[in-house]
Amino acid sequence: MLYGRSAEISALDEVIARARDGSGGAMVLRGEAGAGKTALLDAAATRGGAMRVLRTTGVESESDLAFAALHQALWPVAGSLDALPEPQRDAVRAALGLAAGGAGDRFLVGAGVLSLLAEAAVPDGLVCVVDDLQWIDRASADALLFAARRLGTERIAMLFAVRGEAPVKGVPLTVDVRGLAESAAAELLESRHGTLPAQVKRELAALTGANPLALGEIAARLTPAQLAGREPLPDPLPGGARLFGDRVAGLSDPARLVALVAAVEADLDLVLRAAGRLSAGRPAPPGTDTVTGRAALAELEESGLAGVSGTSVRFRHPLIRSALHEAAAPADVRRVRAVLAELTEGDRRAWHLAGAVLGQDEQVAATLVAAAERARDRGGYGAAATALARAAELTPEPRARAVRLKDAAVAAWLGGRPGQAQSLLAEARERAGEDAALAMEIAQLRGRFELNSGDAAEAVRILAAGDGLDMLADAMEAASYVGDTAAVAELGRRAVAYPEGFLRDTVAGIGLTMDGDAAGPGLLRRALARADEQEDATGYLWVTAAASALGEPDLAAEMAERAGRVARVSGMTGQLPVVLEFVATAERIAGRLARSQAVSEEGLALAREAGYENTVAAHLANLAVLAALRGEEESCERQAREALAIAIPHRVGLRAGVAAYALAMLDLCLGRHAAARDRFTAIAAAGPGAGHPTVVWRSAPDHVEAALGAGDEAGARAALAAYERWSAHAATPESRALLARCRGLVDASEDAFDEALRLHTNPFEAARTALLLGERLRRAQRPGEARAHLRTAWETFERAGARPWARRAQDELRAAGESGQAPPATALDALTPQELRIAGLVADGLSSKQIAAKLFLSPRTVEYHLYKIYPKLGIGSRTDLARLVVLQKAPMTGDGML
């Protein structure tokens, strides 16, 4: 029975009730050892009625075994794996050891766990209980928490219990399980010991912090006279901080041996066989045990310290394991580990060998490396990092040790632990010695780590010291993030010395073009001609960079979209958060605002999962621009501030520039032309790390408009002149359209406006041009000619959700003599960005499983969204939805290409 926990039970009941109704969620119970977290989880598991219950518990001895806890949780529902999308199914099967081959990326494993839990939740819902999270192996914890952060539409409640203060990433709902109230502590004591004097109850509660475990254990050690208050309580109280030490000491030698083995390895058969071998000094045949072993196990159970649960020995409390280790001599623990290594194989054998060895041992280190490779193949990068780091400790040869530390750093990075990765890489660097090739490889990794999560300018310094084309290209990428034009130009000149090829032409072309060298654009055109030869996302991102350097945003957007499609199906989606930076920007620049929103929201969540801080800044900055276009002042300012708080200290000028651009666009959208002009001027003047030439170039048309709106014709002409220089080599229709619009504004040329409207391929920019021309015609007393342009602009802005622009077009249209009735809405306007993406993918012919695989959702989540979409659109089938999307085209939202 639980005492004094009504508030905690109420909080758990609320999460479970919401999940039962289809609004899933997660909760963390946090408290010290003995506070009663497990008892609360046990109670919660019984309160879901018909809801299914899945459980897993962290075991310290299994914390280095990749996916051990996930196997325990999901094994009862493994029969539902075939219902999952193929990539997710294969990833989970590999993680659980049900299939050979790699699990692929950890995002795929997490998405597969979410989908499998969603299947297990049919028909009555699911409660997933995770106890002792602090000892859950990292691969399992990553997958379970990935799912816990995405339960909004699932009938799933995930409940975690954890000891300590470390935050549980992405699960904000936390209940602190503290000591009991004095009245509840008194009730607990009396339930076990009968009526006690009030003074004794108060003293015990005060001296134990009313910790339920401490109360029960210490009170059981008191004499009747002490409990009755006839004698004072002992000082200090018996048991102390360890609580179980004297009870461990009270076990017979055989029982203590069995307990020590169980503290190292929980499997019942292994415990008995190892104990038999240790006690008898001879091998115990498989499947047998000694009478002494069974008697010792019975004594251990009778003591209340442990019990048998299925095929495992489980201790009543984790502190008992600590007490057993403290009571044992180190040599005894090593002897137990050595015997267990003889009785096990695979990862278990590797870790038992590591626990048995004294000093360094290459053979043992090699077994850990093999275990790390198996974990990595299954997507368990955190476990792989731990195994490789321990292998490095055991490695006697300095260079091999440095290599293993470097490999451990890579695994930690891929596991979303950049801090650990940087620490391991720093140690690898110290131990690399005089090996120049290894030192260069470590330096390249340092640069990549800095570029993704640290100081981008430091990444330039590190990577520019390299002497290979790949490292030079990485340095160019870093310098481009910083916005360091001089470094980009220098790196481009260095790249010229390498043999001709796509990467060399791209890197050299970007640098030379940035430096004003006439040879640069030709190299970029040659690189663009090889765009269709690219096979991975990185290649397409370099094509994107080449198109951008030529001033062709429409081609850059197309290439970024290709990079996103390739990244999703590559089987190595760890790079996806970074790729989605460019995809989201491309969608926005192409005028597909809702799609850009959905991509950035996905990218932001994945970047936070991966620990890619600079990518977090990128998605926040893009979301701030979208908020500006919608006139959402508070959201824009908040997201821009958050982006700048990362980008400025990390000297990521590209993302700092985009965040500053968002604030300038907010002023322009809201008609604050002078403030917008000042912000655009500041963007143009910002140096490396705070601004970026690409942002200056892309924002030039907005700068021109803001300057003219503020009455600053000279400023507008200067911005136009700079834009003409930047666009000198651009040849795509959209780039020429934007330049024509700027000339139309500055030179008051209707011909230039007409040319822009003829060339535009971006519907949003076309609407802006139509609005500017309509305003000019209306003010020239030509309202009849103005109305068609203004009406087109208004309808486009309304459908895009760009409310400030829509209001401006509507006001102008009314001034031109039109009644100003709302433009006809398309049916798709009622959908959210995520619903629009799903609708577009349905129109492309994808099944729910295929959509789920692309968007890291469960198929049931996709079906949930379709259930919401159909009534919004007044349709009843996927065929109707596909037909509607094709008919309406949805120029502002796109067709779900990703």
- pLDDT at position 288 is 44
Q: Which two tokens stand for residue 464?
A: 């520019």
**In terms of domains, do 111 and 126 share one?**
yes
Residue 98 burial (CB count, 10 A): 14
* Residue 458 burial class via C-beta count within 10 angstroms: exposed 0-12, middle 13-18, buried 19 and up: middle
Residue 637 domain flag? yes
CA distance linking residue 865 with residue 729, whole number of Å: 45
Residue 560 domain flag? yes
The DSSP line for 674-694 is HHHHHHHHHHHH--BTTB-HH
pLDDT surpassing 90 at residue 639: yes
pLDDT surpassing 50 at residue 896: no
- pLDDT at position 602 is 92
Summarised one tens digit per residue, pLDDT across range 706-749 is 999 999 999 999 999 999 998 888 888 998 999 999 999 999 99
Residue 506 domain flag? yes
How high is the mean pLDDT of the chain?
A: 90
**In terms of domains, do 191 and 164 share one?**
no
- 95-104, 378-387, 526-535: least confident range: 95-104
Backbone φ and ψ for 129, nearest 5 degrees, come out as: -110, 125
**In terms of domains, do 767 and 742 share one?**
yes
* 576 or 496: which leads in pLDDT: 496
Backbone φ and ψ for 750, nearest 5 degrees, come out as: -70, -30
Residue 101 banded pLDDT, cuts 50, 70, 90 = low
Residues above pLDDT 90, as percent of the chain? 68
Contact call for residues 484 and 457 (beta carbons, < 8 A): yes
User: Domain ends where: 484, 499, 533?
Assistant: 533
Summarised one tens digit per residue, pLDDT across range 625-636 is 999 999 999 999
> Average pLDDT for residues 247-266, to the nearest whole number?
92
Q: Tokens 């299947």 — which residue?
A: 119
**In terms of domains, do 552 and 664 share one?**
no
Cα 293 from chain centre: 47
Q: Which two tokens stand for residue 630?
A: 């919608």
CA-based angle 202:204:206, to the nearest 5? 70
> Average pLDDT for residues 165-183, to the nearest whole number?
89
- pLDDT at position 787 is 93
- 436-445, 504-513, 569-578: least confident range: 569-578
- pLDDT at position 531 is 93
CA distance linking residue 286 with residue 801, whole number of Å: 70
CA distance linking residue 421 with residue 416, whole number of Å: 9
**In terms of domains, do 815 and 844 share one?**
no
> Average pLDDT for residues 147-175, to the nearest whole number?
91
Summarised one tens digit per residue, pLDDT across range 864-882 is 999 999 998 888 889 989 8
Q: Which two tokens stand for residue 6?
A: 């009504």
- pLDDT at position 104 is 60
CA distance linking residue 540 with residue 546, whole number of Å: 10
Residue 898 banded pLDDT, cuts 50, 70, 90 = very low
Backbone φ and ψ for 43, nearest 5 degrees, come out as: -65, -45
- pLDDT at position 433 is 83
Residue 367 banded pLDDT, cuts 50, 70, 90 = very high
The DSSP line for 245-260 is HHHHHTS-HHHHHHHH
CA distance linking residue 614 with residue 600, whole number of Å: 14
Residues above pLDDT 70, as percent of the chain? 95
**In terms of domains, do 812 and 856 share one?**
no
CA distance linking residue 726 with residue 553, whole number of Å: 12
Residue type, 150: R
Beta strands, E only, 246-338: 306-309, 312-315
Summarised one tens digit per residue, pLDDT across range 826-843 is 667 788 888 988 998 998
Nearest to 460 by CA among 423, 436, 488: 488
User: Domain ends where: 176, 192, 223?
Assistant: 176
CA-based angle 80:154:66, to the nearest 5? 55
**In terms of domains, do 42 and 107 share one?**
yes
> Average pLDDT for residues 416-441, to the nearest whole number?
91
Residue 258 domain flag? no
- pLDDT at position 165 is 81
Q: Residues 849-858, buried b or exposed e (16+ Cβ, 10 A)?
A: bbbbbbbbbb
Contact call for residues 611 and 416 (beta carbons, < 8 A): yes
- pLDDT at position 894 is 37
Summarised one tens digit per residue, pLDDT across range 462-500 is 999 988 999 999 999 999 999 999 999 999 999 999 999
Residue 570 banded pLDDT, cuts 50, 70, 90 = low
Q: Which residues contact 155 (CB under 8 A, 6 or more apart)?
A: 19, 20, 21, 22, 24, 51, 121, 124, 125, 126
pLDDT surpassing 70 at residue 691: yes
Q: Tokens 């690409």 — which residue?
A: 694
* Element holding 157 (H helix, E strand): strand 156-162
CA distance linking residue 362 with residue 353, whole number of Å: 12
pLDDT surpassing 50 at residue 895: no
Residue 718 domain flag? yes
**In terms of domains, do 815 and 759 share one?**
yes
pLDDT surpassing 90 at residue 1: no
* Element holding 24 (H helix, E strand): none
- pLDDT at position 826 is 66
Domain count, the chain: 7
Residue numbers of the domain that contains 739:
731-824
- pLDDT at position 292 is 67
- pLDDT at position 685 is 94
CA distance linking residue 791 with residue 811, whole number of Å: 11
> Is the C-alpha dihedral spanning 264, 269, 270, 272 positive or negative?
positive
Q: Which two tokens stand for residue 417?
A: 């632990």
Length of the chain: 898
Q: What is the pTM of this model?
A: 0.86
pLDDT surpassing 50 at residue 890: no
Q: What's the CATH number where 763 sits?
A: 1.25.40
The DSSP line for 806-833 is HHHHHHHHHHTT---PPPPPPGGGGS-H
**In terms of domains, do 16 and 101 share one?**
yes
Summarised one tens digit per residue, pLDDT across range 286-301 is 544 555 678 899 999 9
**In terms of domains, do 39 and 24 share one?**
yes
Q: Which residues contact 785 (CB under 8 A, 6 or more apart)?
A: 777
Q: Tokens 């030490």 — which residue?
A: 245
- pLDDT at position 793 is 93
User: Domain ends where: 221, 241, 261?
Assistant: 241
Residue 383 domain flag? no
**In terms of domains, do 518 and 497 share one?**
yes
Residue 432 domain flag? no
Residue 405 domain flag? no
> Average pLDDT for residues 140-169, to the nearest whole number?
92
**In terms of domains, do 17 and 132 share one?**
yes
Contact call for residues 149 and 605 (beta carbons, < 8 A): yes
